[in-house]
Amino acid sequence: MPSFPADFLWGAATSAYQIEGSPDADGRGRSIWDTFTERPGAIESGGDARIACDSYHRWQEDLDILSEVGMKAYRFSLAWSRIMPDGRGRVNPRGLDHYERLIDELRRRDIAPIVTLNHWDMPEALMADGGWIGRSSVDAFVEYAVAASERLGDRVDWWITQNEPWIIQLLGYQLGLHAPGIRDLRGAVTAGHHVLLAHGRAADAMRPFTRGRIGVALNLLPCVPATDSQEDADAAWGSDGYVNRWFLDPLLRNGYPDDMRAHWERATGGPLDDVIRPGDEAAISGRSDFLGINFYTHRVMAAAAPGPDRPFPWQVVGSTGEVERTDEGTEIVPDAFRDLLIRVHRDYPGVPLIVTENGAIFGDSPTHDGEVHDVRRTRYLRSHVAAMAEALDAGVPLRGYMHWSLLDNFEWALGYRPRFGLVYVDFRTGERIIKDSARDYARIVRDGGIVAGADVRASQVDSLGAFG
């Protein structure tokens, strides 16, 4: 018997900035990514998202693909700059009109909309107060969340306020590799805190306008020690605090973990009392009806002394020996995926989970027959579905799985080279080609989550090759 419940949400995911294009259409304002892509060298090969997949115009074609491959849900984001062109204040009805049409058509097709409010594309106007470093960003986000839920709340059953707060904090404000391109360690932890605080306050403000469930999507990375030494075990636990517990604990418990707060205060030179103010942690805690989990890989950690470019006493070293990898070198570890789902359920019991992103970069392109035979993505997807089946068997309250991504798209600072999609996109013409992996995924959905026989487990998948 399959482990997946009959109402399991099988779907795929995208984000507005990565697929929509049309930055000047229908009153959209400027976003921080519009500005960032203009920086020389910021984007690999100098690309931008002015066209991307042209999904602002071709959204019905994208929904046709979702229907063709039998998806039950579609996770997508609203572009904050389309709805609040100035970041706050004036609401642009034409932006809301677009998303209303999209949501109505999804519901007509019996595809559940899973709506993300902030997938990294903050309006540029809010940078006048430092973006997420400025505490006023919290109020601005609440205004936006209210505008969206007031218009759309009666038709959306699943809301994600924030996507990957750690990536916003790390790449946007600590390392400067993503928009807005800031390198400021204390500013980074401040920005990350404001993202979480904005979730809590927005969730409260949205309740009168929607009966939908409200949550956050976190990118979680199991942190494992490189050796059996106590030093590496301590490094792995510290890294877990940095990427996982610093966000899980305030959302699903009662506040930030003490050990990681001590690390942050040492690294930034002082207490965080001016950042994490009285009442903030109470305003974050208990506002998540579910947790979205974005999973791609794990972190293999070793102890290392802090230094000018290493604020914390650990470093990522990677696995030794033979490990299957994506075209980007990311380690493929479905067993770690299973263990992560079980761990989150164990540590934060009673919280429903949705896998809101999971996918891999494989650069397969059309062959002589015009089709895309991406056998490695098929293998990847099946192994991770098998891992979820094991987690469900262990009692994890898993409600859905959104593969990243529906379409090849603009992959942020990496431009258009990495291809994550179930659907191949020719970026010169906009043509879509459904890949073999998408058709295999459709069979998995149709069969209720069965992959290569009912007895397949994540640990067995590697021996199955391309699943003939």
Other Cβ atoms within 10 Å of 16 Cβ, number: 25
The residue with tokens 């998995």 is 444
- Strand pairing class (213-219; 290-295): parallel
The neighbour count for residue 349, using CB atoms within 10 Å, is 10
Neighbouring C-alpha atoms within 13 Å toward the C-beta of 238: 21
Phi/psi at 350 (5° precision): 90, -5
Residue 272: closest CA among 147, 187, 336, 332: 187
DSSP code for 459: G
Residue 317 and residue 250 in contact, taking contact as beta carbons nearer than 8 Å? no
- Cα(196)–Cα(200) distance, rounded to whole angstroms? 6
Selected catalytic residue, list 281, 357, 390, 411: 357
Round to whole Å and give the CA distance between 9 and 400.
Answer: 4
357 among known catalytic residues = yes
Task: Name residues whose C-beta falls within 8 Å of residue 26's C-beta, 6 or more positions apart in sequence.
Answer: 82, 92, 94, 95, 97, 98
Checking 373-378 for CB contacts under 8 A at 24+ apart, the result is 373/435, 373/436, 374/435, 374/436, 374/437, 375/436, 375/466, 375/467, 376/466, 377/422, 377/435, 377/437, 378/436, 378/437, 378/440, 378/466, 378/467
**What residues contact 169, with CB distance under 8 A and at least 6 apart?**
188, 189, 191, 192, 195
What is the rounded distance in angstroms from the CA atom of residue 18 to the CA atom of residue 175?
Answer: 21
Can you read off the two tokens belonging to residue 165?
């707060």
What is the phi/psi pair of residue 118, to 5°? Answer: -125, 100
Query: Pick the catalytic residue: 164, 281, 390, 411?
Result: 164
Q: Which of 174, 179, 166, 183 is nearest to 48 (CA)?
A: 179
124 catalytically annotated: no
Residues that are catalytic? 164, 357
